[in-house]
Amino acid sequence: MPETSLDPAPPTDEQGTQQDTSGTPAAPATPAAPPVAPDPAAEQQLVAAEQRATEQTERAEQLQQALDAVQQALNPDGGEGGQDPAQLAAAVAERDTQLADLAGRLRTAQVELAAHRAASEHGARADRLLNSRAFLDSVSGLDPDAPKFGEQLGAAITAAVEADPDLYRAAPAGPARGGAEFNGPPAAERRPKTLHDAIAVRLGG
């Protein structure tokens, strides 16, 4: 039988890996791709986005706290449904009307008190001024807190007196009485009725 020639097996290294004996060097292994360097602009945008998100969260919490405070003020009893907005608006309008009415009454009382005090200074009768609808209407628009309130009130009192002096002008005060009052005729004109009275008159001079 003819002998079959067998090619000798390529040599192996110590780890059992066959070595390439063809003379062609083995291709080097592909190195791993280096890590991509972070983009500074992208990092800045990310930080800005996180900051905006944090600010929005804080703002939402503040708004919620404000809404809770308003709800507590409008519905202190803590009812589930709260009050009807229409009823709340009506209640607020009624309260404002009451406050305006009270403020008007207070202003009127202050004006009338000031007029009562200033009437005598302008020669007017305070009682008749305050009982006159025309005079009260003329001073209803005055503001007691205004700097020129006193001048405006005095002008209104003077105008009322000049328009109807018989009604508003105060009567002039009479002269003050001096000395003692005499009841009956003077003592010199009295005639003594008895001797005792005659002696008393004589001694009294």
pLDDT band for position 193 (cuts 50, 70, 90)? low
Q: What is the mean pLDDT of the chain?
A: 72
What was the pLDDT predicted at 126? 87
Describe the crossing of helices 85-118 and 149-163 by its angle, rounded to 10 degrees.
Answer: 60
* % pLDDT > 70, the chain: 53
Question: Would residue 179 be called left, alpha or beta, if left means φ above 0 and alpha means ψ between -120 and 50 degrees?
Answer: left
What was the pLDDT predicted at 55? 73
Q: Is the pLDDT of residue 177 over 80?
A: no
User: Which range among 66-80, 83-97, 143-157 has the greatest average pLDDT?
Assistant: 143-157
> Which pLDDT tens digit goes with each residue over 23-65?
555 556 666 555 555 556 556 666 666 777 777 777 777 777 7
Q: Is the pLDDT of residue 15 over 70?
A: no
What was the pLDDT predicted at 41? 57
What was the pLDDT predicted at 158? 92
Q: Are the beta carbons of 115 and 125 closer than 8 angstroms? A: no
Q: Are the beta carbons of 168 and 125 closer than 8 angstroms? A: yes
Q: Is the pLDDT of residue 79 over 70?
A: no
Q: Is the pLDDT of residue 110 over 60?
A: yes
Cα 183 versus chain centre, distance: 70
| Domain parsing of the chain, residue ranges | 109-170
Q: Which two tokens stand for residue 28?
A: 């080097």
pLDDT band for position 173 (cuts 50, 70, 90)? low
Strand, helix or coil for residue 166: helix
Give the Cα separation of 68 and 88 in Å (integer): 17
From the CB of residue 186, how many other CB atoms can be counted at a distance below 10 Å?
Answer: 7
Helices (H) and strands (E) in the chain, counts: 7, 0
Give the residue among 175, 134, 173 at the shortest CA–CA distance from 156: 134
